[in-house]
Structure 1
Amino acid sequence: MKVGVKINDLASRGQKKIQIGKLFGNVVAIDAFNVIFKFLSAIRYRDGKPLTDNEGNIVSHLSGIFYRTLNYLVCGIRPVYIFDGNYPELKFDTLEERERIREEAKRKVKEARMRGNLEEALKYEKMTATLNSEMIKESKELINDFGVPYIQASGEGEAQAAYLVQNDDAWGVVSEDYDTLLFGGTRLLYDFSITKKTKSLTEIEYISLPKMLIDLEITREQLVDMAILIGTDYNPGVKWVGQHTALKLIKKYGTIEKVIKAGEKVRGKKIYVNTEIIKGIQDIYLNPSLKTDYAPLEWRRISFEQLKERMIHKHNFSKKRIRNGIKRLKEKIKE
């Protein structure tokens, strides 16, 4: 399912490395909806169905948040989760399309299971993930048990996370959404998680927005114009215009308005994007809705008993695994 603008090739031009030990002790702003959707899609039983407790409640998101947060804290990384607020009106079409894709995926799962094609069913099961208000509430409660702060954004979570980095309240943003860069997030830790493999590394890669812009010889405003041509969560983009074509056009003409005025064509068809749409998207990325008066970030005392109550007794997670995780965290705190 499409999330954000597709600029993965261009974003790689901004790759930098940091000694992993230097990251430990820093704050990372986590795009909550982005990572929770990933947990809901990825943490599943072998048949593709989401993880559930004894009452049949989906708990994939709680598993992901528990271990992601625990591993950050054990390594001395201080997470802050950022939850989406109200979406811009221009995003409503994208949200409706995502819902259509989910419903279509549910239909294909049933068809695949009837044919006995479990591999195909598994593929489509992952596309049916839905994040509802109860899951958001449960996620916030679990984060609170860890004593970890979260911010309820007024608008897009990526924009608020990017603002924390700009405001020196976080070192970088953890997300799989390249929109973070368009919102001005200067450091993007693309889906950064702590695993056995990560712990064995001496360096990790992240995307530096300043390095990316310098390497591409463009401004952030021009990056936004490129995104409009490619397609964003707020517009479908221009057919047949990908990231490399968009870069070429913007570097040649300077702005998307001049590209359109010049009458540039792609496969014989003139490039056109409605002026109001252009202005609207430019404003979303360059002047996003932000909560600037959020409370100072504070990491409180961890409620270990509440963590055990929620994960083991309420949602039936493995007693051994949860207790072992908590033990590791307690040992870290004692150091």
Structure 2
Amino acid sequence: MGIQGLLPLLKSIQNHRHISEFAGQTLAVDSYVWLHRGAYACAPQLVKGEPTTKYVEYAMHRVRLLLHHGVTPYMVFDGGPLPAKKGTESERKKKRDENLARATALTAQGKHTQARDFYTKCVDVTPEMAYQLIKALRAEGVKYVVAPYEADPQLAYLERHGIVQGIVTEDSDLLVFGCKNVIFKLDSDGTCVNIRRDDFGKVGEIEMAGWGDREFREMAMLSGCDYLPSIPGLGLKTSHKLLRKYKSVPAVLRAIPITSKTLRVPPGYLEQFHEAERAFLYQRVWCPVKEKLVMLGEVPVGEGGWDEAFIGECV
């Protein structure tokens, strides 16, 4: 989930904090992160269709943790499937099916401990599970929103428009969406890791001084993201080095066949890159103020002519 290797690359600006330091603020929460974690505790029951509420209990414990420390949670749920992510979702389903087959075989052999490891890998959060959590949130008066498509741009929109002051997640994609104040690894004791976009110029592992949202986004995307398969062998540090030298993605792609003996740019990659970038820039979100669907960002004048269905239908 997210950009592989991105959080370790930003280790030098990871600040270890306690959630109480955010008291008085409203933080948007990627609800499916907590649902996934809660599902691990009851993975065999979920996969077998047995009744359980452990995943709801886990998520509500985290909700109450925030409230206890004076933080107002704003829960955000994934909505419908996004066309831009069709390939990624298909691959994930294939892996879940493979893990389920292995879990079933190990269970039949009486190897329950080993089977449990595979059950946790094949469990998936369903809309019904999300609904059960929503009912619990309603009962305690906790604010929530179901995104029209993915939670990530919805979280980014809420922060960008001052509706929340930060985001709780485990997905490094939120940094690629341009979020300014992101909280990772929230533990049951309230400890967490905070990454602030204002600190990007202080990253010790790579030189990012002078870079804006575009350069950072392009570096991450070139290394591979949920909307775009990676160029085999091209990781974050290499994409950073190439962008520093050649300044733009088209220039990088022109240089790769000339300068590299191992990297190969797939046919049509640049157009695929532009499509994927639109998912980061313009994906559909719900505006709780206007009470209607809007785009995450405004499409510049003259940048039309592409299939908007890729970033979600305006339904």
| TM bucket, shorter chain | 0.7 to 0.9
The one of 167, 178, 194 equivalent to 1:206 is 194
Segments of structure 2 that go 5 or more residues without pairing to the other structure are: 292-315
Distance 1:149 1:118 in 2: 39
**Are 1:219 and 2:207 counterparts?**
no
Task: Report which stretch shifted further, 211-220 or 232-241.
Answer: 211-220
Q: CA deviation at 1:182?
A: 1.0
The one of 53, 56, 62 equivalent to 2:56 is 62
Quick one: structure 1 residues 50 and 243, their matched pair in 2 at CA, closer, same or farther if it must change by over 3 Å? farther
What whole-Å deviation, never above 9, does each CA across 1:226-284 have from its counterpart, x for those lacking one? 22222111122111112222221222222222110123555523334622211111111
Quick one: structure 1 residues 66 and 19, their matched pair in 2 at CA, closer, same or farther if it must change by over 3 Å? closer
Q: Secondary structure at the match of 1:82?
A: strand
> Equivalent residue for 1:233?
226
> Equivalent residue for 1:276?
271
AA in 2 matched with 1:274 = Y
For the Cα contact (< 8 Å) 2:231–2:263, is it kept in 1? no
Q: CA deviation at 1:169?
A: 1.9
Residue identity over aligned pairs, in percent, reads 21
The one of 104, 116, 120 equivalent to 1:110 is 104
Q: CA deviation at 1:97?
A: 1.1
For the Cα contact (< 8 Å) 2:20–2:69, is it kept in 1? no
Quick one: structure 1 residues 238 and 212, their matched pair in 2 at CA, closer, same or farther if it must change by over 3 Å? same
Equivalences for residues 43-192 of structure 1 within 5 A: 43-44=41-42, 49-50=44-45, 56-192=50-186
For the Cα contact (< 8 Å) 1:109–1:121, is it kept in 2? yes
Q: CA deviation at 1:165?
A: 1.7
> Equivalent residue for 1:259?
252
Distance 1:19 1:32 in 2: 20
Distance 1:294 1:84 in 2: 19
What whole-Å deviation, never above 9, does each CA across 1:50-81 have from its counterpart, x for those lacking one? 479xx932323211122111222122111010
Distance 1:105 1:147 in 2: 38
Q: Secondary structure at the match of 2:70?
A: coil
AA in 2 matched with 1:106 = L
Distance 1:26 1:94 in 2: 34
Q: Secondary structure at the match of 1:22?
A: helix
| Larger RCO: 1 or 2 (CA < 8 Å, sep 6+) | 1
AA in 1 matched with 2:136 = L
What whole-Å deviation, never above 9, does each CA across 1:192-240 have from its counterpart, x for those lacking one? 2442xx3xx6xx5301123125632332212221222221111221111
Q: CA deviation at 1:85?
A: 2.5
Quick one: structure 1 residues 168 and 17, their matched pair in 2 at CA, closer, same or farther if it must change by over 3 Å? farther
TM-score (norm: length of structure 2): 0.81
> Equivalent residue for 2:281?
286
For the Cα contact (< 8 Å) 1:213–1:219, is it kept in 2? no
> Equivalent residue for 1:306?
none
AA in 2 matched with 1:238 = I
Quick one: structure 1 residues 148 and 289, their matched pair in 2 at CA, closer, same or farther if it must change by over 3 Å? same
Q: CA deviation at 1:189?
A: 0.5
TM-score (norm: length of structure 1): 0.76
Quick one: structure 1 residues 27 and 293, their matched pair in 2 at CA, closer, same or farther if it must change by over 3 Å? closer
Quick one: structure 1 residues 226 and 113, their matched pair in 2 at CA, closer, same or farther if it must change by over 3 Å? same
> Equivalent residue for 1:5?
3
Q: Secondary structure at the match of 1:189?
A: strand
Question: How many residue pairs get matched?
Answer: 282
Segments of structure 1 that go 5 or more residues without pairing to the other structure are: 297-335
